[in-house]
Structure 1
């Protein structure tokens, strides 16, 4: 097995192959990679079946869904690569120009980071998304998959490298770390001089470990304690549709709702309707019902489990929803600011003043009015796929597309000037 350190050294040695590649060359490479992903679908499905068999009984059904691949998901991966190929190349973009009194001409232009490391867990499609976004933005990619998804990730990377081999770009600009122990994760965190940026994609534990231990620059992503607030002036039919989508369309992802706040003026009508949609109707349809964890006030109107304080600070990633009644818009905002991870939060209201207050006061990367939080996604935002959702404020915030994976430099053109 190649050591993790050797893989760092390889990525650094070949990074110029992608850092300086032309747009035309990168796009040709991406299209070849998309073709190879589809051609290798049988191998990828075989590898994924092995991962799924090994994971059954060890992780929840919801998490198994994150790990699972079928032809439809592989086709979506290939189409995602083709969509990224169509996007404008950020590298070389001129951000600012100026001329000094001494005649120096200064150009600020966008450049690649260099080598980007990505640590992620059991979502095989992240392998493709991360590699493709890194390459289109001119960066080499060092990928560290979760152990559960390693065979799937290896099959995907093999196909991606086969596509790269059809071009002048060195296939080794993609490195999939072979060591799936914790040692390799810590090695990425300490890879100063080899990685220019490290991005963790996963649960709170992974992100916290990276933030606390990394000596390389890190962009914090992902953890989503996502709120939807149903205001007293909400259209209740609209609210039920939004809540159902935000909680049940795919509960294992970071933009799924975890906490529902309801104005107490709507409790009598809205909460029984909520229980019908999320529990009764789903059970009748043979679907997993949502477990409602209710504060004391909500429990007066519908049945469910009594909520504990920690339920309002938990990313469940499952069919579980914490529900709290609030007495005002201001109370809702105060609760969100105290408990949100500043990922995505929403208000449902027909009151323009309430919507304006909410969007001004809630300090999250994505703030919604009358829409599901499930739209916080690079593809949905028109960025192609995404590297992750940044919940910090420095350098990048929200869905991270191509521009968020670049830096810039100043190019100064002179005619012989010297500083006095």
Structure 2
């Protein structure tokens, strides 16, 4: 009986992972469809530019086409970076036609454009149409009797249902489409992203001065965040624990003087001293936990975030999918980000509920904190968001805040998992 339950649990876990992988792949294919459709249009523009170049019109269109190419390549790098490891951009490519024709970056971007505007477009269309056809055909027996006669029965454009047997045959096609989605879409997503990861990334001979400048700024942010954290700890110790300990010293001196005069009065003072000492110990424990929460070592990131959700004044749901542990500093930063975000939700949003989703994919840890509050949060203001931004920048991560007036507010943070 125990073996059966273990097998059933294993099947459920495997099914959940397969569904999540397929859902993520479909979302990635759909996201790639947007840049692929734009790439196809840009291919047509480049073709028109080449054909009309002898007439002089193409020479006028060439700078516009080059700028559009570089902008689209930047969009694709950002998209791929959100779904996996960061695609490091090379230095700024030239926009003058003569220099662009011999520039390695521009030529690599053109090769990517050709592949993404053709094969990437096809894969993106399949990633969008396959789920639609799977739903339509699987549910076909529920509505085929209400359809007009001679209407195509399947999503693939053939066959007309005349009986229940035909309707269930269409349903089998829908189930087959669902099986294709579960089995093939992860590979399709990788195939769609592969040209971008190979051709849009900086090559070994590329000038990485921009990347060096970015890392220099990141290092400065890390030092700034470290200094800010030290000041916070110093203030907490000075304003809280130190004052409590001074109070304990004063009360012990007063109790010592009262022993000979009024022992009952001395007992009362000693009780106050004990209470102050306990408060000082509690504050010291709180400060030490804020440096590196021990719950991360004891229960991992999922358990630590569950503890934060349980203590949050706003009802909060935690969804963690991080099969592997990240570096301790990264997990501590993730814990701080969620703790600060939930504090901001409770203080400023007026939300009824919040959701924290954590995903570890492709060497990156993604945190998404969403609430249904009033919105209007400003990423440039507020000490809480500034602290989050500094901590994230110290790990070379990214932060995005979406908070329209009326809500909802979504804070998305990406961190490299580290080693």
TM-score exceeds 0.5: no
Structure with max Cα Rg: 2
- What TM-score does the superposition give when structure 2 sets the normalisation length? 0.23
Normalising by the residue count of structure 1, what TM-score does the alignment of the two structures yield?
Answer: 0.23
Structure with greater strand share of residues: 1
Which of the pair is proportionally richer in helix?
2
Higher relative contact order (CA 8 A, sep 6+): 1
